[in-house]
Amino acid sequence: MSPRKTLATSKRVLSQLRHDRRTLALIFIVPPVLLTILKYVFQGEPGVFDGIAPMLLGIFPMIMMFLITSIVTLRERSSGTLHRLMTMPMSKSDFIFGYAIAFCLLGIVQALLSGGVMLGLLRVTVLGGTIPTMIVAVLAAFLGTALGLFTSAFARSEFQAVQFLPAFIFPQLLVCGLFVARAEMARPLQWFADIMPLTYSVDAMKRVTIDPSWTSTLTRDLTVVIGFAIVALILGSATIRRQE
């Protein structure tokens, strides 16, 4: 793996997005707009919004990065550029980690914007503080990026890649504890939730919301999220083949 080639790949991906301003605007503007709409959906019950908004701050970046990464990577896999790159002296890790760095940088900007709107404009109180909230949101975006890079290998078309969102992310969303406490769910669903990364991402955000101090449980949750993301990136590298 070469840091020069990895960073050149990140720079290239960001340059491509720079030329696509509409996509950039959607990445950055949609999550804060959705949070704002939700605030007024729960206008009569402000406590409800204060409880779920931080969780959504972790979920939105993950979903968006998952979608964008899987489609952009699939486009590269099917357009011939990846094929050409694999005949050059470039490692598969340069490619995958180059993408991961680029989308994590986007995730940071997205988390800062959404977090800024949530904490500043919408006045949501997070006891754990601004920086831990941002860290959890950025790691959620990192997880979405890594899962998107991995799952793009199994899609043959952009239509299929989009279908991976309901197939791969929505089940995690249903059991992660956002809608119903996990202890109240059927036992097999609890087991399923225990092995899914989104559970730990949402748990981490819950802890940041209610606990003013950085706890060892928070560290454990974030370690699990990072671990899942790194494994997904390694598996993503393995799915790229130099030979058919």
Partner 1 sequence: METAVKIKHLSVTLGGHFKALTDINLELPVGKTIGFIGPSGAGKTTLIRGIVGSLGISSGEIRVFDIPAGSAVLRQEVSYMTQELSVYPDLTVTENIKYFITMAGQPSKKSGEIVKNVLELVDMSDKAGSLVSDLSGGQKQRVSLAVALIGAPKLMVLDEPTVGLDPVLREKLWGLFARLADQGTTLIISSHSMDEAGRCDDLVLIRDGRLIAHSSPDALLRSTGTKTVEESFLKLVGDRE
Give the closest residue to 165 by CA, choosing from 152, 181, 180, 182.
152
Measured distance CA(16)–CA(191) in Å, rounded: 41
Which run of H or E residues covers position 62? helix 46-79
Under the binding rule (CB under 8 A), the answer on residue 1 touching partner 1 is no
**What is the C-alpha to C-alpha distance for residues 131 and 109, in angstroms, rounded to an integer?**
14
Query: Per rule CB under 8 A, is residue 21 in the interface with partner 1?
Result: no
- Answer whether 228's CB lies under 8 Å from 195's CB: no
Residues in contact with partner 1, counted by CB under 8 A, come to a total of 24
Determine if 90 is a binding residue for partner 1 (CB under 8 A). yes
Answer for the pair 39, 122: CB distance below 8 angstroms, yes or no. yes
Among 83, 174, 182, 235, binds partner 1 (CB under 8 A): 83
Residue 151's alpha-carbon distances to 107, 194, 237, in angstroms, are 19, 20, 11
Q: Which residue has the tokens 């959620």?
A: 140
Q: Please identify, using beta-carbon distances, which residue of 88 and 181 lies nearer to partner 1.
A: 88
Q: Which of 1, 16, 28, 189 binds partner 1 (CB under 8 A)?
A: 16
> What gap in Å lies between CA 229 and CA 148, rounded to an integer?
10
* Binding residue (CB under 8 A) for partner 1 from 24, 30, 38, 86: 86
Q: To the nearest whole angstrom, how small is the minimum distance from the Cβ of residue 226 to partner 1?
A: 28
Q: Does 188 bind partner 1 (CB under 8 A)?
A: no
For the bound state, the minimum distance from the C-beta of residue 117 to partner 1, rounded and expressed in Å, comes to 29
Instruction: For the segment 62-81, give every residue that binds partner 1 (CB under 8 A).
Output: 79-81
Q: How far apart are CA 48 and CA 210, in angstroms?
A: 14
Q: Does 22 bind partner 1 (CB under 8 A)?
A: no
Nearest CB to partner 1, comparing residues 23 and 163: 23
Residues that bind partner 1 (CB under 8 A): 4-5, 8-9, 11-12, 15-16, 19-20, 79-81, 83-90, 242-244
